[in-house]
Amino acid sequence: MTMRDVAKEAGVALSTVSHFLNGTAPVAPETRKKILEAIERLNYRPDFTARNLKRQKTSALGLFIPDVTNPFYAELAQGVTDVAQGAGYSVILYATSYKEKLEESFVSLVEQHQVDGVVIAYSFIAERLWGRLASSGVPAVLVDVYPTNDLWPSVVVDNEKGVEKALRYLVSLGHTDIGYLSEPPYVLSLVKRQRAFLSFMKRKGLPLRDEWVLVEKTQRNRVEIGFTLGKKLLKEKKRPTAVVASSDLVAVGALKAFLSSGVRVPEDISVVGFDDILLASYVHPSLTTVRQPKYEMGRTGVEFLLQFLQGKNDCPPLTLIEPVLVERDSCQGRG
């Protein structure tokens, strides 16, 4: 069933049907009725592929993330799909599980113009792919990734401020002996969090012990990392009274390590995470954490992208989203 069939059935010209369907020209009431009836009779639906070819667009946006299974990216994805769909775009999900081969094929996807634009919440393993993406000319926006060039705007949480909020909170609770547990800082965000921790402690004249700043070297399950690091911390003769973790998953791992060693949280040690994934409120005790507004970051990302696609090219190169400290039950005052 093509538009041609509808036109024939309705006894009007092809273009009239098109105009009617697109509202691109006024159509007489009777003609309109005839067309409507024909469409109904033939159960006609316009073909998007043809429309896209003609309009030179795909009505699809790409979303590039490492892993949907990671609640952080899942929430981001929801933000992205919600606004994209609202604007009439479908979103093509590309989750690579950090496999180089899939990175490659995602880049091909955009090079072949299968998408009108792309939200990238991913740091490539293969550096050279950035270049191919750039030269494809497809508009992109980075989310949770710091700027890599001056082509694409970037939306990230203010990592420094987030860590400071956590630390200020712990200090206000009377803590001075504070540790830091981190997964391998393989992206800039994690580096910034660690630096912010160090800098705050130094600035405030708080004790800064090497044995309290535990940074994992090898990439593996982050809850396990937290668990290992938590156990390690427990082995020190002098323990900190609070720890901040580089992410909620690490925090949850540490929580498990503490609880399973009979160390009570928050009575014996306070814990604060980073991200505020759903999990944070589900564990016991529920986790006090620095919330990254992931959904909003996703939203903002696509909104920029949509603006760009509409020719408005004036979004800021770097947007810092304000993190929020979410107080739950894993912290307690001292003295």
Residues that bind a copy of itself (CB under 8 A): 43, 45-50, 52-53, 58-60, 63, 67-69, 71, 74-75, 77-78, 81-82, 85, 90-95, 97, 102, 105, 109, 111-114, 135-136, 223, 249, 252-253, 255-256, 259-260, 278-279, 281-284, 286
Closer to DNA by CB, 28 or 318: give it. 28
In angstroms, give the least distance from the CB of 176 to a copy of itself: 27
C-beta neighbour count of 229 within 10 angstroms: 25
Q: Where are the alpha helices (DSSP H) in the chain?
A: 3-10, 14-22, 29-42, 48-55, 71-86, 100-111, 128-136, 159-172, 188-203, 222-234, 248-260, 279-282, 294-309
* Shortest Å, Cβ 20 to a copy of itself: 17
Cβ partners under 8 Å of residue 18, min gap 6: 3, 24
Out of 9, 12, 190, 258, the only residue in the binding site for DNA (CB under 7 A) is 12
Q: What share of the chain is helix, strand, coil (3-state, %, to 5)?
A: 45, 15, 40
- Residue 234 and residue 263 in contact, taking contact as beta carbons nearer than 8 Å: yes
Closer residue to DNA (CB): 44 or 64? 44
47 or 236: whose CB is closer to a copy of itself? 47
Q: Which does 36 bind (CB under 5 to 8 A by kind): a copy of itself, DNA, none?
A: none
Question: Which DSSP letter does residue 174 get?
Answer: T
Minimum distance between the CB of residue 48 and a copy of itself, rounded to whole angstroms?
5
Nearer to a copy of itself, 253 or 266 (CB): 253
Name the residue nearer to a copy of itself (CB basis): 75 or 216. 75
Binding at 92: pick from a copy of itself, DNA, none (beta carbon under 5-8 Å per type): a copy of itself
- Answer for the pair 333, 173: CB distance below 8 angstroms, yes or no: yes
Nearer to a copy of itself, 91 or 245 (CB): 91
Distance between CA atoms of residues 234 and 254, nearest Å: 10
Q: Which stretch binds DNA (CB under 7 A): 11-19, 87-95, 100-108, 226-234?
A: 11-19
**Closest to DNA by CB, 60 or 287:** 60
Distance separating alpha carbons of residues 41 and 20, to the nearest angstrom: 17
Residues 259-274, buried b or exposed e (16+ Cβ, 10 A)?
eeeebebbeebbbbbb
**Distance, CA of 182 to CA of 194 (rounded, Å):** 8
- 3 contributes a contact to DNA by CB under 7 A: yes
Contact yes or no for 194/185 (Cβ under 8 A): yes
Distance in Å, CB of 94 to DNA, minimum? 22
Per-residue contact string for residues 34-63; x = within reach of DNA by CB under 7 A: ------------xx--xx-xxxx-------
CA 317 to chain centre: 17
To the nearest whole angstrom, how small is the minimum distance from the Cβ of residue 183 to DNA? 43
Measured in whole angstroms, the distance separating CA 258 from the mean position of its chain's CA atoms is 30
Residues making contact with DNA (CB under 7 A): 2-4, 11-16, 18-19, 21-22, 24-28, 30-31, 46-47, 50-51, 53-56
